[in-house]
């Protein structure tokens, strides 16, 4: 029996450890791409690292290249993902108009859309759904880490049959042997007596599978079991950290949402104050107008009447 007969629960972590420089490089490139969305900027950085960065002989071309590089550097630092230099200019003007700073806008996180110059607040049902999914994932990671974190049993799989089982302390049992009754499925347990004196395939379904597991139960490969236990202990910590990261993501997004709502409320209040109230002209009712005639003076008419009276 060789070690290739079994696979430990998180064997891929060993491969990840050996390839971590390549993985780290891919992660860095992914982060730069996510924040800038510019293959030109990534290609330019490669040329710069290789010492092949050149300058344009035409001043206009060089100015365009410099403006575009400044835009992508700005996106890399702020994460605003602005699509053009004109969008960057509009952002600066909008910030000066509303007396805002980059640090304040960054607190709104992904809810601030710099290209549209507005805050996009999701509906409550989407927020609740997102939080429920991420919290469920975090809880699953933590429970998974708690499940595989055992100091005396290794979780292995028979590659030929795909059977998962726990082995250690000169015994082996099925994966869900310790689960509640409704979740146990078809539980089984193998001890040294079952391996030495019982030649039937029971309690497993295949005699070859039983022979393979019994070799571990009888202590013929304790070194491999020890390595698997050490590997799954590290894996348990990774799973728990992923669970904690999920909870942190929920907290970060909740903080972004609160800040975005506050900034949006401030902009709405500022807009309502700046809008002139005199634009709405109120027309007084007709009853408020008086129809009384104004007193008029008619000296000429009075004199003519007086002369007429004297003649008569």
pLDDT digits (tens, 9 = 90+) for 102-118: 989 999 999 999 999 99
Q: Does residue 2 have a pLDDT over 50?
A: no
Question: For tokens 């710069």, what's the residue?
Answer: 48
For residues 256 and 136, give the distance between their C-alpha atoms in angstroms, rounded to a whole number: 21
Q: Which residue has the higher pLDDT, 272 or 125?
A: 125
Segment 224-269, tens digit of pLDDT: 888 888 888 888 898 999 999 999 999 999 999 999 999 999 998 8
Segment 114-147, tens digit of pLDDT: 999 999 999 999 999 999 999 999 999 999 888 8
Is 195 inside any structural domain? yes
Q: 2-6, 49-53, 223-227: which range is least confident on average?
A: 2-6
Distance of CA 180 to the CA centre of its chain: 35
- Number of folded domains that form the chain: 1
Is 31 inside any structural domain? no
Is 185 inside any structural domain? yes
Please state, for a pLDDT cut of 70, what percent of the chain lies above it. 82
pLDDT band at 283 (very low <50, low <70, confident <90, very high): very low
pLDDT of residue 307: 47
pLDDT of residue 9: 52
Q: Does residue 281 have a pLDDT over 60?
A: no
Contacts 24+ apart (CB under 8 A), 142-148: 142/239, 142/240, 142/243, 142/244, 144/239, 145/235, 145/236, 145/237, 145/238, 145/239, 145/240, 145/243, 146/236, 146/240, 148/9, 148/10, 148/232, 148/235, 148/236, 148/239
For residues 254 and 243, give the distance between their C-alpha atoms in angstroms, rounded to a whole number: 17
Is 172 inside any structural domain? yes
Contacts 24+ apart (CB under 8 A), 296-303: none
Question: For tokens 């409550």, what's the residue?
Answer: 124
Is 174 inside any structural domain? yes
pLDDT of residue 263: 94
Q: CA-based Rg of the chain, rounded to a whole angstrom?
A: 40
The full DSSP string for 19-34 is: THHHHHHHHHHHHHHH
Is 233 inside any structural domain? yes
Segment 84-101, tens digit of pLDDT: 999 999 999 999 999 999
Is 202 inside any structural domain? yes
224: domain range? 3-11+138-241
pLDDT of residue 278: 43
Please state, for a pLDDT cut of 90, what percent of the chain lies above it. 33
pLDDT band at 220 (very low <50, low <70, confident <90, very high): confident
Q: Does residue 3 have a pLDDT over 50?
A: no
Whole-angstrom CA distances from 106 to 79, 101, 164, 169 are: 8, 9, 47, 54
For residues 259 and 147, give the distance between their C-alpha atoms in angstroms, rounded to a whole number: 38
Is 170 inside any structural domain? yes
């Amino acid at each position: 029996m060789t070690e290739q007969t079994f696979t430990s629960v998180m064997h891929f972590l060993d491969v990840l450890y050996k390839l971590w420089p390549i993985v780290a490089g891919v992660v860095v490139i992914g982060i730069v791409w996510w924040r800038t969305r510019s293959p030109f900027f990534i290609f330019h950085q490669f040329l710069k690292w290789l010492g092949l960065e050149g300058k344009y002989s035409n001043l206009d071309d060089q100015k365009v290249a410099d403006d575009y590089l400044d835009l992508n550097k700005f996106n890399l630092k702020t994460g605003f993902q602005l699509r053009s230099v004109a969008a960057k200019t509009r952002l600066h003007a909008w910030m000066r108009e509303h007396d805002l700073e980059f640090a304040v806008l960054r607190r709104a996180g992904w809810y601030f859309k710099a290209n549209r110059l507005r805050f996009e607040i999701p509906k409550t049902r989407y927020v609740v759904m997102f939080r429920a999914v991420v919290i469920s994932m975090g809880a699953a990671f933590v429970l998974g880490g708690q499940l595989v974190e055992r100091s005396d049993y290794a979780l292995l799989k028979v590659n030929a049959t795909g059977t998962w089982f726990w082995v250690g302390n000169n015994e082996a049992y099925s994966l869900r042997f310790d689960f509640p009754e409704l979740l146990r499925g078809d539980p089984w347990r193998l001890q040294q007596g079952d391996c030495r004196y019982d030649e039937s395939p029971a309690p497993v379904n295949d005699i070859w599978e039983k022979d393979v597991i019994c070799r571990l139960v009888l202590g013929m490969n304790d070194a491999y079991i020890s390595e698997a236990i050490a590997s799954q202990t590290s894996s348990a910590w990774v799973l728990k950290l992923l669970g904690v990261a999920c909870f942190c993501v929920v907290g970060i997004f909740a903080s972004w949402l609160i800040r975005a709502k506050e900034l949006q409320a401030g902009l709405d209040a500022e807009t309502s104050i700046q809008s002139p109230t005199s634009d709405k002209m109120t027309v007084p009712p007709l009853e408020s107008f008086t129809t009384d005639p104004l007193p008029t003076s008619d000296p000429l008419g009075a004199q003519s009447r007086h002369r007429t009276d004297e003649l008569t």
